[in-house]
Amino acid sequence: MNWLIGMLGQRSGICSDDVWIVDSTPVECARSRETVKRSDLAGWAEDGYCASHSRYFWGLRLHLVCTLHGLPVGYALTGAKADERQIFLDVLAGTPTMAAVREDGQKQTVIADKNYFGHDFEATLEKAGLELLRPARKGEKPRAGSRFFKPLRQIIESINDTLKGQLDLEQHGGRKPDGVIVRITQRLLAMTAAIWHNDRIGQAIRRSLTAYDH
C-alpha cells in the first residue's frame, strides 16, 4: 500500500506542488480505562491532547505532509506525545520522493503551526532546501507569510476532516499494532486514489469524495 500511494502520487499532476502543509492529528484507539489496560497497543498508544478540539485522548498521532490539494507526500504514525518536529525530519529523510521533488533547486515552502519551531530545526530545513512558514510564538517578532496562515490552516483542517469524517480515520477498529497500521494506510491510499482519479478526469476539486461516498 505504501508503494501504491507513492506511485499514484507521482502520477498525478499535483505531486510537484511547491507548497507542503505539515500537521498531526489524533487517532484515538480507546476510551474506557479497562480497554486501555488490556490493549495490545499499550506502550505505543498513549495519553495525548488535541489543542484544535480541546480534548484529551488515548491513542496515536498521524503525522501528515501533503500538498494544498490534500495529496499525501509523507506520513508517519506515532505515539500521541511524539515530537512533531523530529517526526517531520524523520519523514523527510525517509521518503525519497520528498527529497527529490525540488531537484530544480527551487525552494519548497512548508506551512506548519506553532509547534514546528526552533533554531536548529529551522536550520535543518533550510539546509534541505525548505522554507518554513509558521505563526509567531508568544514573544517572537511577526514572521513572514502571516496572511496565509488562517486560510491554509483551514485547508489542513479540511484534509483532516476528509480523513475522519468520510474515511473514518478514528473508527479504524484496529486492536493490534499491525492492524492499526494497515487500516490507517488503507485510508491514506483511498484518499490518494481519489485525488489521482479526480486529477486524471479533470475534476476541479481533487480531494472531493462525493462521487465515491455511497
What ranges do the domains of the chain cover?
A: 2-204
> Given this model, what pLDDT does residue 157 score?
86
104 pLDDT more than 60: no
Pairing of strands 130-133, 19-30: unpaired
C-alpha cell at 16: 510537484
Is pTM beyond 0.85? Reply is yes
DSSP code of 212? G
3-state secondary structure of 57: strand
Long-range Cβ contacts of 72-75 (<8 Å, 24+ apart)? 72/5, 72/9, 72/188, 72/191, 72/192, 73/9, 73/15, 73/20, 73/97, 73/98, 73/101, 74/98, 75/188
Residue 46's identity, in one-letter code, is E
Question: How confident is the model over 75-84, as a mean pLDDT?
Answer: 95
Residues linked to residue 50 through DSSP beta bridges, in sequence order? 55
**Which residue in 152, 190, 192 sits closest to 172, CA to CA?**
190
Provide the pLDDT confidence category of residue 83 given band limits of 50, 70 and 90: very high
DSSP code of 42? B
What does each C-alpha distance from 36 to 3, 42, 46, 83, 168 come to in angstroms? 32, 7, 9, 22, 21
Pairing of strands 46-50, 55-67: antiparallel
- Please name the residue ranges forming H helices in the chain: 2-10, 33-38, 84-94, 96-100, 119-127, 146-161, 177-200
For the segment 157-209, what is each residue's pLDDT rounded down to a tens digit?
A: 889 889 988 999 888 988 899 999 999 999 999 999 999 999 999 888 888 88
Provide the pLDDT confidence category of residue 214 given band limits of 50, 70 and 90: low
Instruction: Provide the CA 196 distance to its chain's centre, in angstroms.
Output: 17
> Given this model, what pLDDT does residue 100 score?
63
Residue 44 in contact with residue 175, Cβ under 8 Å?
A: no
> Given this model, what pLDDT does residue 39 score?
87
Residue 10 in contact with residue 97, Cβ under 8 Å?
A: yes
Provide the pLDDT confidence category of residue 101 given band limits of 50, 70 and 90: low
Provide the pLDDT confidence category of residue 31 given band limits of 50, 70 and 90: confident
The beta strand positions in 42-97, using DSSP E, are 46-50, 55-67, 72-79
Q: How far apart are CA 98 and CA 74, in angstroms?
A: 7
Highest CATH level, class, for 2-204: alpha beta
> Given this model, what pLDDT does residue 148 score?
72
